[in-house]
Amino acid sequence: MNTASPTLADAEPAGAKVIRSISVILPAFNEQFNVRKTVETARRVLRPLAEKWEIIVVNDGSVDATRAICDVLARQFSDVRAIHHMENLGYGAALKSGISAARNELIFFTDTDGQFDFQELTQLLEWIDRYEIVIGYRGKRSDPFYRLVNAWGWNMLVRLLLGVRVRDIDCAFKIFRREVFQRVQIRSVGAMVNTEILAQALRIGMKIHEIPVTHHPRNHGAPTGAKLRVIAKAFRELCRLWSKLRRINEDQEGLLPRVSVELSQPAHH
């Protein structure tokens, strides 16, 4: 756990928590070979963990069979919803669509590529009573060398420019209390979204806890994060965020309205 920042702290977990409700966001772009397995795994893991849950799959303009599979899953399972972007808008836009649609008190997101162990969500939940945000970091990344170098450079740049001192800022295994997105905005449409969320949260004074998670090799599909256009977009957004952070205040309006989640309808399992 990185203790360089006063808002990143280490402590013993608060203990087992009875989860009343959780929304799981799954961005998907050309994941026809992964999305069904990921959704079915999520449902199996969530069943003993929460009284109420929903799974929101955001198809970000896929050109394969991802859209059709998402629609089948939504018809098959009452706790699964599908959101479609007509074109590929970017990872940040997909997360924003999913989080904006979330109804529950906890919001968790991960990828649909099968590289994370969904069962390890239980480890994040152990800490969510004490911290507004609990994030995973890949203890051993199953990525090509060039992606490891890119990730190291990006983390260093974010530390220097924004002061966000976390081990693995883009690890797609994060859980948030709903109140985070009642105060944090999402304006990034691309790979910068994780940096934007955590930078705003730290500036507002929220606490973040990090735990190691397992990272598996990708079996199907191709990653997009190392493409030059994705990297270029992230750098442009980083420059804009550096400027915008100076205007963030604790009373800003977030992505979600500040209303009770008790208004949400229970999912039937």
pLDDT at position 248 is 72
What pLDDT, on a 0 to 100 scale, did the predictor assign at position 13?
56
State the Cα–Cα distance between residues 214 and 222, nearest whole angstrom. Answer: 19
Distances from the Cα of 226 to the Cαs of 60, 151, 161, 231, in angstroms? Answer: 18, 9, 21, 6
Is 10 among the domain residues?
no
Q: Is residue 219 part of a domain?
A: yes
* Among the listed residues 14, 22, 76, the one whose alpha carbon sits nearest the alpha carbon of residue 49: 22
> What would the pLDDT profile of 101-120 be if each residue is shown by its tens digit?
999 999 999 999 988 999 99
Whether 11 maps to a domain, the answer reads no
Tell whether 266 is covered by a domain: no
In angstroms, the Cα distances linking 65 to 87, 142, 210, 237 are 14, 26, 35, 31
- pLDDT value of residue 269: 46
Q: Which two tokens stand for residue 173?
A: 């295994």
Mean pLDDT of all residues belonging to the chain: 83
- Of 74-83, 110-119, 247-256, the one with minimum mean pLDDT is 247-256
Given this model, what pLDDT does residue 2 score? Answer: 41
Identify whether 5 is part of a domain: no
* 262 Cβ contact partners less than 8 Å away, ≥ 6 residues apart: none
* Backbone phi, psi, residue 189, to 5°: -105, -15
Query: Which segment of 141-150, 158-167, 259-268 scores lowest on mean pLDDT?
Result: 259-268
Domain count across the chain: 1
C-alpha pair distances (Å), 267 with each of 70, 80, 85 = 18, 9, 24
Question: What's the token pair of residue 206?
Answer: 């929220």
Q: Which structural domain, as residue segments, surrounds residue 168?
A: 19-249
CB atoms inside a 10 Å sphere around CB 249:
8
Residue 249 has pLDDT above 80, yes or no: no
CA pair distance 51, 216, nearest whole angstrom:
29
How do 19-28 and 106-110 pair as beta strands? parallel
- Judged against a pLDDT cut of 70, whether residue 146 lies above it is answered with no
Predicted pLDDT at 215: 83
**Best CA proximity match to 120, nearest among 148, 101, 139:** 139
Compute the C-alpha angle 95/96/98, nearest 5°.
65
Residue 6 pLDDT > 60: no
Non-local CB neighbours of 52 within 8 Å, separated by 6+ positions: 20, 21, 22, 104, 264, 266, 267
Ranges 138-147, 203-212, 235-244: which has the least confidence: 138-147
**pLDDT at position 268 over 80:** no
pLDDT value of position 4: 38
CA dist., res. 134 & res. 232, Å (int): 28
Where is pLDDT greater, at 192 or 174? 174
- Compute the distance between CA of residue 91 and CA of residue 40 in angstroms, rounded to an integer: 22
CATH number at residue 135: 3.90.550.10
Is 200 part of any domain? yes
User: Which pLDDT score, from 0 to 100, does residue 12 have?
Assistant: 54
Flag whether 85 is in a domain: yes
**Separation between Cα atoms, residue 185 and residue 195, nearest integer Å:** 12
Split at pLDDT 50, 70, 90, the class of 162 is: confident
Is the pLDDT assigned to residue 204 strictly greater than 80?
Answer: yes
For 14, the 3-state DSSP assignment is coil
Q: Does residue 150 fall inside a structural domain?
A: yes
Which helix (H) or strand (E) element contains residue 59?
strand 50-60
